[in-house]
Structure 1
């Protein structure tokens, strides 16, 4: 496994593989890797000759400076996990390498970025669009792999690919979960064991709500029940719970197409913000 910190050196290495007609699969990450990330690497290996992973905590997608400062970092552990998983190339640049000059570019994704994560994290998706565009330009991969946990982000990146005509196949890999259903996340490292156990309520709520909707319970009643459930919990604070269509991630009063319907949730416990989702046709 080869590790690079400089764009020029990485590009030279990738060019050698591209000239040999090797298919490059890219897994963009912010480090603090877990089995969810490794599942992306494993999926990439199925259809790629060369698997490349980026590790970069992107400052432009954080609207909360404290969140950026506390984001977990453990590069040595990350590299060990990636080597064991069979990764071929790792790109772990410093911030100055990615943002060498003042960076004021903004990307507006329209209605898709004005709800849920976009509503509660202003400019977050603009920052995501910036870094993913840069990575696509640097790596020029044939395919890219993202986790379902960040569902809205996946559709943001899909829109980026479609509208900027990147010749890249995008793949969504199902969320990996802990034993109690909690979605694996780098942020989980900041939770106590007790908080991890209690945060299992998030996925349990998604499952029960999806079942209720499929059994005919009106969406507004499902949302009311969820709000009441979290009000009764002394440690979990609900930020949002919505049933949306994945075309635009705006709330819907009723289901017209289960395949395009998702339940999305964000909650905080122990000052750690967690997100999760469930596609209705799970």
Structure 2
């Protein structure tokens, strides 16, 4: 496995692979890897000849009051896990390499970034789409792998790829969960013991709303009330938002969900200083 920090070198290696008619898969990450990340690289290994994992804590997607400086990092462990998973190359650039002096370009997707996470974290998705567009241009993958846990991010990236005609396929992998239902996340490390126990309320809220939906409750406002009630039953949980939205445009269903349409149930909840997100797509 090669560890690469240079954009030029990363682009050269993947260009050589493509010239040899090898299929290239990319799993973009911010490091501090868990089984959820490895499920992306495992899927990529199954579907491609060569796999690149990127590790880059992207400063552009963190707001001024967010946790960029304290975002967990463990490069040595990450590299060990990726090598064991059979990844061919790890792209680990510095911020200076990705955003050199006088860097002032950006990629922004409008329309689906002003709600949910976008409303709570202004500028977040512009940072995400800018760095992901750069990674696509550097690595030139045939396929890129993302987790369903970041449902809005997935929708935004798919729209960026479609609108800007990036020549690659976006593969969405299921959310991996702990035994008690909590979605795997690098931010779970911030939770103390009581908060960790309380955090399972996200899964319980989603599961309760899913059961109601499957039993015929098809009103968006009713599903949000169900999720909100479950979360409110946990004293350590503070809700940022709950949502029952159209999975394509992320607009809220207020009344009846049209027959044949899906619904994205999602939420963001704080436990102390830790903010967690989760979702079910039905």
TM-score range, shorter chain: over 0.9
Number of aligned residue pairs: 280
- Say which is worse superposed, 64-73 or 25-34, in terms of deviation: 64-73
Distance 1:35 1:167 in 2: 28
Distance 2:199 2:274 in 1: 11
Give CA deviations for 1:107-162 in whole Å, capped at 9, x if unaligned. Answer: 33222111101110101111111000000000000000000000110111111111
Q: Is 1:128–2:92 an aligned residue pair? A: no
Q: Look up the match of 1:229.
A: 230
Note the C-alpha offset of 1:258.
5.6
Instruction: Describe how 1:1-282 pairs up with structure 2 within 5 A.
Output: 1-217=1-217, 218-253=219-254, 254-256=256-258, 260-280=262-282
If the length of structure 2 is used for normalisation, what is the TM-score?
Answer: 0.95
Query: Are residues 50 and 84 of structure 1, via their aligned partners in 2, closer, same or farther at CA, if it must alter by over 3 Å?
Result: same
Higher helix share: 1
If the length of structure 1 is used for normalisation, what is the TM-score?
Answer: 0.95
RMSD, matched Cα:
1.4
- Say which is worse superposed, 46-55 or 63-72, in terms of deviation: 63-72
Note the C-alpha offset of 1:260.
3.2
Query: Are residues 163 and 76 of structure 1, via their aligned partners in 2, closer, same or farther at CA, if it must alter by over 3 Å?
Result: same
- Say which is worse superposed, 96-105 or 137-146, in terms of deviation: 96-105
Distance 2:260 2:71 in 1: 35
Q: What SS does the corresponding residue of 2:69 show, helix, strand or coil?
A: helix
Gapped runs of 5+ residues in structure 2?
A: none
Note the C-alpha offset of 1:222.
2.9
Give CA deviations for 1:174-221 in whole Å, capped at 9, x if unaligned. Answer: 000011111000101111233222211101110110111232233323
- Say which is worse superposed, 256-265 or 67-76, in terms of deviation: 256-265
Are the counterparts in 2 of residues 22 and 49 from structure 1 also a CA contact under 8 Å? yes
Structure 1 residue ranges, 4+ long, deviating more than 4 angstroms after superposition = none
Distance 2:192 2:19 in 1: 48
Query: Are residues 260 and 107 of structure 1, via their aligned partners in 2, closer, same or farther at CA, if it must alter by over 3 Å?
Result: farther
Are the counterparts in 2 of residues 247 and 260 from structure 1 also a CA contact under 8 Å? no
Distance 1:165 1:93 in 2: 25
Note the C-alpha offset of 1:105.
2.9
- Say which is worse superposed, 180-189 or 220-229, in terms of deviation: 220-229
Query: Are residues 208 and 258 of structure 1, via their aligned partners in 2, closer, same or farther at CA, if it must alter by over 3 Å?
Result: farther
Note the C-alpha offset of 1:65.
4.2
Give CA deviations for 1:214-265 in whole Å, capped at 9, x if unaligned. Answer: 3223332332233233334221111110100112111102222565311011
Are the counterparts in 1 of residues 107 and 133 from structure 2 also a CA contact under 8 Å? no
- Say which is worse superposed, 170-179 or 185-194, in terms of deviation: 185-194
Query: Are residues 196 and 41 of structure 1, via their aligned partners in 2, closer, same or farther at CA, if it must alter by over 3 Å?
Result: same
- Say which is worse superposed, 266-275 or 108-117, in terms of deviation: 108-117
Query: Are residues 220 and 34 of structure 1, via their aligned partners in 2, closer, same or farther at CA, if it must alter by over 3 Å?
Result: same
